[in-house]
Chains A and B, each alone.
Chain A
């Protein structure tokens, strides 16, 4: 079948609930074939990468904390498609997906999870501390990333480069005091900050109803305009992000987006995720709202791609993940000489005390 090179489709997307906004994102999105294939591929890579991480964790090759993102792919991929590469982004610990969209490779992400020297942070950070250009992690302390993100936005405004910062947090973090302190300062100083609450309905094992007096997270910024977005539809997320970015870049100050999404895994690998929600609920989301399936169905029903073509992409993706996993399991661990390095930036070599007074270890920048 011959595909028209400039094939695109005008797709209907759902309306966003608005808070202190006269109008919201458009109700239709333009999707080109090229875009659709790219989104599909990226989300599939993300999905398979997380599932591979699940496997490696159960084999005890990945250890410690591992918070998986499968189910939420439309958020990361949708946001990235709504901003520029030169914009900035920060999130919490469920960060593998964002590390990917912000420029990390699957190899270096997986090798970081397995704690090898080829990891994106040379094995020093682990699952929750991955960094890339204009991507500030990966942050372990719930809520702490929000003031950091506003600080990045302050730097954007200060440096006058018309860049903005996307600052993500979950429904659990949304009740942190420092987030409200940040809303206040961001609004006061009109910082170019898009606050995004990824509401996946559960903060660890606590459902939103049990944690928040108001579950309208898009309204919790009070004086900050907000919108509530279907986080399972990548085009919805993209259009909302573009809308929010335009708001920030026009100097109006911060804006808040709530993405309604879902995680298939438990909070982390140590949480089976079924003690506080039913298997039926998880299955229902999988069958009715899976972000990858939604995009796939849309593309097929609009004749933008064939089933076979997408299957080919799946096969490629599987191979890419296998290769990355192979690398991540065979790459050597960081050398012991690296133990005390990277304490300070731009510093002459110094001595670090080891476990006993005679252990004088070397540290270089």
Chain B
């Protein structure tokens, strides 16, 4: 894992240096998802004194995945807090702090560990504003890497998008690009409600162009709005997180065969931007949802159900389908792991089946 990080930094450094030569031609910068998240937190910590970060290894270790690198050095013990390995305890502490007027960012080293604390997220955070009829808001962010990683096996690879998105009172975000990461995390921190931000470890080291606008300290991405990453006419691909990149890769291959895919990056899982998906289906007449998580009761299942119930149903020329992770606990061996999550060829295959090619 450490060597992977170094390689990516090297590649990013190369990319950046290349860009410096072209600096006078363009105003874009290459930023990794990791750095975008770091910037988001740094800016929000600076902007609002009530914001603080707690979690395992977030302070002196610079973050288990280096997402919070430099923050402890800059802000100190009061605002960047290392916790013992006590998820239920520190998640509850974070929620209590939010109830009493602070704006905590509670990091789970991975969302797999959030299962130990899930009662605090749902029963103490999500439901409280409702139960108190508006007396007690809970302005908290729960963030951390979610879903499959590389070689970490079953207990460390689960996607929690469906579980958290099931619950009213929570907002659930799933950034893909650096711009997503920065804008969505900033929105989450500024939101007065409990927000779950599902990051992706394999995306941390990936660099994206960050526009001038996205580099601004006030750049936020609205929660609940999906983004069309690539327009197309023949089929709608809806995805979140890492799978957005896979869909774009699949779209590039399919374009050579004359199939133009419209790729929608959900950005927010709850509330789901059904309008954008429906508008797209009314144009393309075909829908495929792509996710890394398990199929049963998943994000794709919800999308399909909503499309069935809404105006876009009449525009479908084929059943809406889902491309998902395989319905098994994540195996370890590389060949097995590779075949447990959707690959680009699976997306291409599904598109062709849907289009009867």
Residues of A within 8 A of B (CB): 88, 90, 121-125, 129, 131-132, 136-137, 139-141, 144, 146-156, 158-159, 165, 177-178, 181-182, 184-185, 188-189, 341-347, 350, 352, 357, 365
Contact = CB atoms under 8 A, between A and B. Distances in A.
A156 B133 contact: no
B92 A148 contact: yes
B153 interface: no
B94 A151 contact: yes
Contacts of B90: 147, 181, 185
A131 B127 CA distance: 13
Contact of B123 (A144, A178, A357): A144
B86 interface: yes
Given A136-B99, A150-B93, A343 B137 contact: no
Given A144-B119, A343-B169, A345-B139, A184 B133 contact: no
B86 A121 contact: no
B129 interface: yes
A357 B101 CA distance: 38
Given A148-B124, A341-B134, A344-B169, A154 B93 contact: yes
Nearest to B98: A151
A345 B103 CA distance: 14
A149 B97 CA distance: 8
Given A144-B120, A152-B97, A344-B193, A178 B135 contact: no
A10 to B, nearest CB: 37
Nearest to B91: A147
A342 B169 CA distance: 9
A178 B89 contact: yes
Given A149-B96, A156-B100, 12 more contacts: A122-B133, A122-B134, A129-B132, A147-B88, A147-B91, A147-B120, A148-B120, A155-B97, A165-B96, A182-B93, A344-B193, A345-B137
A345 B99 CA distance: 12
Contacts of A352: 168
Contacts of B89: 147, 150, 178, 181-182, 184-185
A184 B86 CA distance: 9
Contacts of B124: 139, 141, 144, 148
A132 B135 CA distance: 8
B8 interface: no
A65 to B, nearest CB: 13
A129 B131 contact: yes
Contacts of A137: 128, 131-132, 136
Given A181-B84, A184-B86, A185-B89, A151 B135 contact: no
Contacts of A123: 133
A235 to B, nearest CB: 30
A188 B129 CA distance: 30
